[in-house]
Amino acid sequence: MTDRPHADRYLEVARELRAAAEETRRTLQASRDLVRRAREQDTARPQAPNESDHPGPSKRLVTSLIDAYEAAEDDTDTQTRLLLGRVLNHVGRRVAGVIGPRSAGIAMH
């Protein structure tokens, strides 16, 4: 005799886990794509002697990173969020290097 309510619940949990795993896979793939595009963007640009001579990252890249980082809040894998945080920090430093502290409203002494 099979306990039907339990079996149904197990199937439901399995479907939820499968959906969570798929969402994690998509988030990781988006992260990998963002990192790959950022690297391509960096290597495609000729290196200038002064970092501030480089144009900053594209608005689309920054927005995509922020979206990916926020989406990672739902991910149980902390490595995903840490990786996205490091990438976002790197891109944020590039943005800060382009606009400078005065434009960003940061007081420097």
Give the structural domain span for 24.
Answer: 4-104
Note the pLDDT of residue 107.
62
Q: Is residue 11 predicted with pLDDT exceeding 80?
A: yes
Q: What is the pTM of this model?
A: 0.44
Q: Does 15 map to a domain?
A: yes
Closest CA to 25 of 72, 65, 67: 72
- Into how many domains does the chain fold? 1
pLDDT digits (tens, 9 = 90+) for 45-83: 665 545 555 678 888 888 888 888 889 888 888 898 889
Q: Does 59 map to a domain?
A: yes
Q: Does 73 map to a domain?
A: yes
The mean pLDDT of 13-18, rounded to a whole number, is 90
Burial 3-27 (b: 16+ CB within 10 A, else e): eeeeeeeeeeeeeeeeeeeeebeeb
Q: Does 109 map to a domain?
A: no
Structure tokens at 21: 């795993």
